[in-house]
Amino acid sequence: MISAAFRVMLLGLLRDRAALVMAFVLPTVIFTIFAAIFSGALGERIRIHLGLLDLAQTPTTQRLMQALEADPALRVGRLPALDIDGAIAAVRRGTVDVALVLRGDLDAGSAGTGQPVLLIENPAKALATPVALGQLQRVLNAALPDVVLARIVADVERSGKIGPDERNFLNQAFAEQRARKEPFAFASLVERRSTASGATNDRVSYYAGAITAVFLLFAAMQGALSLVDERQSGLADRLMAGPGGLAVVVLGKFLFLVGQGVVQAALIFAAAALLHGVDIRPNGGAWLVTSLLVSAMAAGLALAACAASATRQQAHLAATFGVLLLSAVGGSMVPRFLMPPWLQEAGWFTPNAWAIEGYQNALSEGWAAALPAWGVMGAVAVVGLGLALGLVSRRAG
């Protein structure tokens, strides 16, 4: 009877071409889109459109313009505007995300008051402002360290600690060091070290696990809806008369949904490997166990939700809004580290967070690191399946 239930669900999927595409093609397409979006929307890959306008036309501002235009981490364009109002209009229209107006000489000894650089921001693109400021400071430190140090020396002179002669001597020393192309110590103060192994794309592997969790939940919910259809059509009453009753039918559906989930996970990670260099081979066994447990967790939860639903509309709401809510809080749509602390903690009560944790640990460190997540997912799968069996048996009684 278990194999019969498995075979019925398999034949139903194979005969419905639209469902077949939704189950196995759509997850791969959605993952490809999300990976392309989010792999370029975090960290150094954020390439905001920066507009530049040099009103001062001094040697230091020209050096800064050239350094910004040469930086590969930036997408820079010179604004055709002739004044600050024109730059403000360009940002307001969305021609650029942020505009930098160089309205004064960067040299500390130049005449004039106020800040020489004006940043024009758009409140609708609030994230672009700190990114632009950080990139500007990085370029200044790397390409114009003598200018930065000269401004610091000018502050010291104003405090009365040194005189004009000492200041001129230091500025000359900075200029000579720049001419010799010797690095300034403060520009290379920080050494960066990553946890990435270098053998795989860790950023994209996160989204492969995140999208896998979403689609396994969606697909499991759609498959488990047959429980409600069978009950409303009266087929469940006839299945009760068979050997094992409805319990074996639920077990057959559970096994089918687990197998379907593993195939979906394999397709998503295959796309990640082909398009983004994600390599699961070093920890292939841990990946397989994780995929089995994520599929089992999704199947158990879906069957429990549909067994508890009195109508198809209730089950459909759980399959759409419920899955979307769990996915949003669990980190499948936005990484949890970007969320408020209380929402990060709430994410641990979602299956998505544990699925992502399991995949991350399994692919980066192997089975030993993934054991806690495996334990949670296995427990949720058992509880969900047990709840589904109990509800079906109670309705049958």
SS3 readout for 135-196: HHHHHHHHHCHHHHHHHHHHHHHHCCCCCHHHHHHHHHHHHHHHHCCCCCHHHHCCCCCCCC
- The whole-model pTM stands at 0.69
For residue 102, give the 3-state DSSP assignment. Answer: strand
Please report the pLDDT score of residue 290 as a whole number: 96
Please report the pLDDT score of residue 304 as a whole number: 92
Please report the pLDDT score of residue 150 as a whole number: 76
Please report the pLDDT score of residue 385 as a whole number: 94
> Rounded to whole angstroms, what are the CA distances from 163 to 107, 148, 150, 159?
17, 19, 14, 10
- Cβ contacts of 56 within 8 Å, gap of 6 or more: 102, 103, 104, 105, 116
> Rounded to whole angstroms, what are the CA distances from 104 to 108, 148, 150, 227, 256?
10, 15, 15, 72, 69
Please report the pLDDT score of residue 4 as a whole number: 56
CB-count burial class (<10 Å; 0-12, 13-18, 19+) for 161: exposed
Please report the pLDDT score of residue 334 as a whole number: 79
* CA within 13 Å, CB half, 117: 20
Cα-flanking dihedrals φ and ψ of residue 54, to 5°? Answer: -100, 100
Please report the pLDDT score of residue 106 as a whole number: 84
Residue 312: count other Cβ atoms within 10 Å of its Cβ.
Answer: 16
Contact 98, 50 (CB under 8 A): yes
Which stretches of the chain score pLDDT less than 50? 43
Contact 60, 107 (CB under 8 A): yes
* Residues pairing with 53 in the sheet: 101
Please report the pLDDT score of residue 23 as a whole number: 60
Alpha-carbon gap, residue 71 to 319, rounded angstroms? 47
